[in-house]
Amino acid sequence: MTDSTSTSTDAVLDRARFGADGLLPAIVQEESSKDVLMLGYMDREALRRTLTEGRVTFWSRSRNEYWRKGDTSGHAQYVRGAAFDCDADTLLVTVEQVGAACHTGAHRCFDVDPLEPVTASAPDGAASAHADAPSALAGAPSALAGGAVEETR
């Protein structure tokens, strides 16, 4: 690792907003399918390893140790990209997934326990109107509250 890479990695680590427990939630998304595969947690060192080694590393809250996805299962995650959310308190890691992402053998952790929530749709025209004029919503949060909600089970 060059000095400039080290400096830029340190700058990224300094921007990360870790929780009171020292952890940052990391959402893992498959590059090819755009599937959300799993959620894990990283401390500063796990984030550094992920950004500099090309493999996703997490902090295991249950085992209190680092684990690099795939070291024991062979189901590895190869980093293809990473981005903070707008507050730098959540990370999105885009990966090439080899094998299953979930320890149960499921492709995605979210395939294991699907729920049946009531779903809703935005009122006609609301999505395009809001996308065209986001600043108009800034001063009027109640403008969204009055819309109709449809059940779409």
Q: Could you report the per-residue pLDDT of 45-73, keeping only the tens digit for each?
A: 999 999 999 999 999 999 999 999 889 89
| Residue 33, both tokens | 């399918």
Mapped onto helix, strand or coil, the DSSP state of residue 21 is coil
Q: Could you report the per-residue pLDDT of 75-98, keeping only the tens digit for each?
A: 999 999 999 999 999 999 999 999
| Residue 153, both tokens | 């089970």
CA distances from 116 to 75, 110, 111 (A): 29, 13, 13
Q: What is the pLDDT of residue 40?
A: 97
pTM for the complete prediction? 0.76
d(Cα 91, Cα 24) in Å, to the nearest integer? 7
**Mean pLDDT calculated for residue range 114-119:** 95
CA distances from 111 to 23, 119, 147 (A): 25, 18, 31
Range of weakest confidence among 3-12, 30-39, 134-143: 134-143
Give counts: helices (H), strands (E), the chain: 5, 6
Q: What is the pLDDT of residue 5?
A: 59
Higher pLDDT, 12 or 152: 12
Q: Which residue has the tokens 């400039």?
A: 4
Is a pLDDT exceeding 60 seen at residue 139?
no
Q: What is the pLDDT of residue 145?
A: 39
Q: What is the pLDDT of residue 37?
A: 98
